[in-house]
Structure 1
């Protein structure tokens, strides 16, 4: 198994005084995802929870919907000088009768840790048909509960404390209980790891839950949330215009700039309550134009 962190010697300058010291970095290594032995994608990720990552990626792409559709997940032998395993190739074996990924899903280039869309054949290939529509999800969420999530997410980030260089994705209940947290150098990988954990635990669809992410809300994160049946996506930073468009189209509640006691609600405001249980809902949400 690859290491989550790495140590490097750095030159540190403080108040004009230079000194050498060890520094802890977030590890980043490529991981190839195969399905039935056939290469599908390569992503740059932080080692750890690799099986969740592979499974979550396939949920996001509409290939997997339930734990029973997976016959097995394993590491493939890697090419090292001593004949050992790099643990950087994961093969997902589908259960009998489960359709293999459409060839159009194959990515032409390595997926970077910064952007999960790189190498997509076309934007239309990303607009995967949603398996569990979220528009009718009856979740109601108190804004006070929502504003507490960034601090709870941050408190659970163990590797971030050591490196300062990882994104996090956390799955919460409507009451603010943390169900699952994953960290990665790629925000889309962190989300896939959460969704993959849910698939392998038999929890899909994730109705009535909130996905909280530490960075911005991109189009792909909205797509991944919708594909997993998550009705609310909240981020500490900004969403993109395409993310807002997709959230509105899918009926998903999208919250950005969730910091302290403030937030911007871009879509789906009707799910949010103010003033505690029994309080009135906010005005029905729509995209901000």
Structure 2
């Protein structure tokens, strides 16, 4: 199996001198996703939880909705210098009656670890119809619970401790208990791995849960949360304008700049329980 870390020799420069020493890096390798033997896309990822990544990607694209729709998943033989398997090609066999991905999803480019599905031609192409709605999810969370999530996420990042170079996505229940954590060089890959784990264990849709991510909240991450039935997404950094627009359209609660006891709630404010009356501007907007 491919490793999720590698060692490289580096020159370290400090005030007291220089020396050469080994450094541990997060591994980044291409992985091709096939459906029924037909190539679909290639993503740059950190090896590990590859089956979760593959099926999670198909959930995000609206192809899969339950574990019963997957008849099989395997690594395909890939040539390496020693004639072995590179473990960089994953093939998913769909169950009978499950529609394969639309031809428009087939991509002759790769998905980078930094920016996600950059080759999608237009905004309309990524507004995938979700199988579940999150707008009516009754989830309620306290600000104090949200404030504790970044530290819990960071404490659980095993590979980050040795490399300092990985994003993380964590799925928390309404009580703030971490149910699943995945790491990857790409934040969108980490989210797909979390969603894929839920699909393979029969837990979709992920109602009543909070998805916490270690970086910013992009449009694509909001889309992935909605596609998995997750009603709340929290990020330590900023959201994009399109992420906020999509969150408002779908009824997802979007929290950004979650640092200590401070946070910005960009959409779905009714799910974040607070004491006292709303600010004047919000009372006016809501008729309170």
TM-score norm. by structure 1 comes to 0.95
Structure 2 gaps, min length 5: none
**What SS does structure 2 have at the residue aligned with 1:153?**
helix
- Per-residue deviation, residues 88-125 of structure 1 (Å, max 9, x unmatched): 00000000000000011122311100011212243322
**What SS does structure 1 have at the residue aligned with 2:110?**
coil
1:38 is aligned to 38
2:17 is aligned to 17
1:180 is aligned to 180
- Supply the distance in 1 between the matched residues of 2:236 and 2:277 (Cα, whole angstroms): 25
TM-score norm. by structure 2 comes to 0.95
The within-5 A match list for 1:92-241 is 92-241=92-241
Structure 1 gaps, min length 5: none
Instruction: Tell me how large the CA RMSD over aligned residues is.
Output: 1.5
Contact kept in structure 2, 1:108 and 1:121, CA below 8 Å: no
CA shift, 1:281, in A, is: 8.3
Bigger mean CA offset, 215-224 vs 114-123:
114-123
- Supply the distance in 2 between the matched residues of 1:217 and 1:108 (Cα, whole angstroms): 26
The within-5 A match list for 1:53-68 is 53-68=53-68
**What SS does structure 2 have at the residue aligned with 1:230?**
coil
Contact kept in structure 2, 1:271 and 1:281, CA below 8 Å: no
CA shift, 1:16, in A, is: 5.5
Contact kept in structure 2, 1:108 and 1:119, CA below 8 Å: no
**What SS does structure 2 have at the residue aligned with 1:141?**
coil
The within-5 A match list for 1:249-288 is 249-274=249-274
- The number of equivalent residue pairs is 282
- Per-residue deviation, residues 160-185 of structure 1 (Å, max 9, x unmatched): 00000000000000110000000000
1:73 pairs with 2:73: yes
